Amino acid sequence: MLRAVRRATLIVNPRASAVTEADLEAVRRALAAAAELRVFRTEGRGHATELAREAAADSDAVFVYAGDGGANEVLNGLNGDVPVGFVPGGGTSVLPRALGLPRDAGQAAAEVASALADGRTRRISLGRVNGRLFAFAAGVGLDAELVRRVDERGRSLTGRRAGDLAFGLAAAQLFAHRRGTLEPALEIAGHGRAAFLLVANGRPYTYAGRVALDVAPRASFDLGLDFVAPVRVRPADIPRLLGYALRGRGQVEAADVIYGHDLDRIEVSCDGPMPVQADGEDLGDATEVVFEAVRDAVTVLA
């Protein structure tokens, strides 16, 4: 059981896709029922990490109302002992949904507040890619390029990132541009060469609207890292590979896809600079990428 809560911190990204002032008030009321609450708004990239680091020193719990990027920043600022609750504020909000929370911000806040009041917590593992922690997914190559293409479309006048439709359009444009085969472009130490790499710390890997994309059905927040890496991708392969992700548990391992399960370390060497992403955030290009499992890393309210 958690000790009696005296103070909690709520970190809000006011520019996250689904954050509104009305919902923020509902979230604040729900959380304030369980703790003396301080509210801080982020002012730019990286600010949530700073706020989380400061909050961890004098808070009994930390809440984050943001998208997946804001949640990622908070995790990179916390120590593993302070319990954290995630309220969905993004267009996708993979992490809170994967932890079983509803998409409605007010309802999710009420659930994590109840978990805090009752001492209901869960320890989960995290991943680390080139020093950056991630909660649910990271990748080298194709999916990271999609993240970059969406970011390059810019944000709205309110600073909000484009949603799932933009990712779908970016994927269609990318495949239309690359009419040929995606050839092997990286080496996974001990496993072989592949066109791109998807690394999962839990399931699903992401969502397309309400549809879960389960590229690594055996991945779990209780285990190490899983990966899926197609050796090469021809245009004719795309429907089959997408079908694997949509079927999830029904997936049959394919001969032209490399898999890894419950791993502590994944080392990748790229033929040239390739984009890297973590929890949907562009980490830039790299030629050497190291993924590490950080087991039993953080306490979440769930």
The pair phi, psi for residue 301, each rounded to 5°, is -90, 115
Residue 49 lies in a domain: yes
Other residues' Cβ atoms within 10 Å of the Cβ of residue 100:
10
Of 119, 149, 164, which closes a domain? 119
The CATH number of the domain holding residue 36 is 3.40.50.10330
In 3D space, the residue among 116, 110, 86 whose CA is nearest the CA of residue 279 turns out to be: 86
Say if residue 164 is in the same domain as residue 289: yes
Say if residue 194 is in the same domain as residue 77: no
**Would you say the C-alpha torsion 93, 209, 295, 128 has a positive or negative sign?**
negative
Residue 124 lies in a domain: no
Say if residue 107 is in the same domain as residue 234: no
Residue 302 lies in a domain: no
Average pLDDT over every residue of 174-194: 83
Say if residue 155 is in the same domain as residue 80: no
The CATH number of the domain holding residue 239 is 2.60.200.40
Residue 125 lies in a domain: no
Residue 300 lies in a domain: no
Query: For the segment 139-170, what is each residue's pLDDT rounded down to a tens digit?
Result: 999 999 989 988 777 554 444 555 555 555 55
Say if residue 210 is in the same domain as residue 83: no
Of 119, 145, 166, which closes a domain? 119
| Res 248: pLDDT | 61
Supply the pTM of this predicted model.
Answer: 0.88
| Res 189: pLDDT | 98
Say if residue 178 is in the same domain as residue 257: yes
Strand, coil or helix: 198: strand
Is the pLDDT reported for residue 2 higher than 60? no
Residue 154 lies in a domain: yes
Return the higher-pLDDT residue of 177 and 38: 38
Contact between residue 95 and residue 86 where contact means Cβ atoms under 8 Å apart:
yes
Residue 200 lies in a domain: yes
Say if residue 175 is in the same domain as residue 57: no
What beta strand segments (E) does the chain contain? 8-12, 37-41, 61-66, 84-88, 121-129, 132-134, 137-140, 186-188, 192-194, 197-200, 206-208, 211-213, 225-230, 257-263, 265-278, 281-301
Say if residue 56 is in the same domain as residue 163: no
* Burial class of residue 99 (count of CB atoms within 10 Å of its CB; 0-12, 13-18, 19+): buried
* Burial class of residue 245 (count of CB atoms within 10 Å of its CB; 0-12, 13-18, 19+): buried
| Res 242: pLDDT | 73
Query: For the segment 98-116, what is each residue's pLDDT rounded down to a tens digit?
Result: 999 999 999 999 999 999 9
Say if residue 109 is in the same domain as residue 142: no
Mean pLDDT lowest among 60-64, 105-109, 212-216 = 212-216
Say if residue 107 is in the same domain as residue 225: no
Residue 126 lies in a domain: no
Say if residue 138 is in the same domain as residue 77: no
Contact between residue 189 and residue 268 where contact means Cβ atoms under 8 Å apart:
yes
Tally of structural domains, the chain = 2
Say if residue 196 is in the same domain as residue 247: yes
Which residue range is the domain that position 253 belongs to?
A: 132-295
